[in-house]
Structure formats: C-alpha cells, structure tokens
Amino acid sequence: MGSLSRFWETTPIEQLDRGQWEALCDGCGKCCIHKLEDEDTGELVPTNVACRLLDRRSGQCSDYRHRHAYVPECVRLTTGNVHGIDWLPSTCAYRLRAAGEALPEWHYLVCGDREAVHRAKQSVRGWTVSEDEAGELEYHVVEREL
C-alpha cells in the first residue's frame, strides 16, 4: 500500500469519510461484549457474553444496518462521540486513532489479513457465548483485558 492509501495514518479521525470510518473497524467484536459495572468502584468488568447479533466467529454484527431495531441500546460510534466513550477496548482502532496512536500490526489495514486479529487472540472468537444462551451475566465475568 502506498502512503496515499494509508488514510488511517494521514487523515484526522474527524475528517474520515463514511467508507474510511467503517474500514477502521478491525472486526474484533470486543465492543459487543456485555460489561458489568462494579457497584463500589464504578469500574466496568467484562463478561464472556456477546450481543445476540454478534457473529462470534467473524467478529462482525450479523445485522449491522438494522441493529438498532433489535438492540436499541447499541451505541452508534461516530466521529463526534468516539472521544467520550471510555469503554472501548484498549486495542480498538477508533480509540487508538482518536488518541493519535498507531494501529496494531495485526489490524487488517496494516497487514492486509482479516484473520490476523483472530490469530493474535484479539477478538471474541473462541471464548464468548451469546446473550441468548448465557443466563445471568454475573456468572460470566472474565479476567480479561478488553
């Protein structure tokens, strides 16, 4: 890829067009994991429970275009709110670029391979369960940094 095509390195996140914005998503699916709030500390604690619409193998939403019809609480990430969402995974490309940081080497825009995120163990593949099968979230807390 030439330097002109590496938009994620040269274009401020606020100036990305729709296609570039969508391309930033690495397909990890970690933003679609349910989190619980610790009543004492206010800290968000991850579970291994994924949104019912998340394809837990690909890390992609199974109905991205209509997700709000099925999951009204789904947060629509935008250039306007990305700076204020503190629960995004530490590896999230949106979070990294909003902070002026580089994308990880396993991000497909960097390496050209959509499977690299899974090989790097940075996705939901292999350790999550759908909320439709999970039951009480309290029984699904995981010791995992997202």
Predicted local distance difference test score (pLDDT) of residue 74: 92
Ordered per-residue pLDDT tens for the chain, 146 residues:
444 479 999 999 999 999 999 999 999 999 999 999 988 998 889 999 999 999 999 999 999 999 989 999 999 999 999 999 988 999 999 999 999 999 999 999 999 999 999 999 999 999 999 999 999 999 999 988 77
Structural domain includes residue 144: no
Q: Is 107 part of a structural domain of the chain?
A: yes
Cβ atoms of 29 and 64 closer than 8 Å? no
The total domain count for the chain is 1
Tokens in use for 72?
A: 């009204």
**Residue 87 domain flag:** yes
The pLDDT of residue 141: 94
The answer as to whether 79 is a domain residue is: yes
The CA–CA distances, whole Å, from 116 to 20, 80, 99, 106 equal: 20, 29, 23, 5
Determine, yes or no, domain membership for 145. no
Question: What is the C-alpha to C-alpha distance for residues 125 and 64, in angstroms, rounded to an integer?
Answer: 18
Domain range for 77 is 10-129
Tell whether 136 is covered by a domain.
no
Q: With a threshold of 0.85, does the pTM exceed it?
A: yes
Q: Is residue 124 part of a domain?
A: yes
Is 100 contained in some domain?
Answer: yes
The SS3 assignment for 34 reads: strand
Q: Are 45 and 140 in contact (CB under 8 A)?
A: no
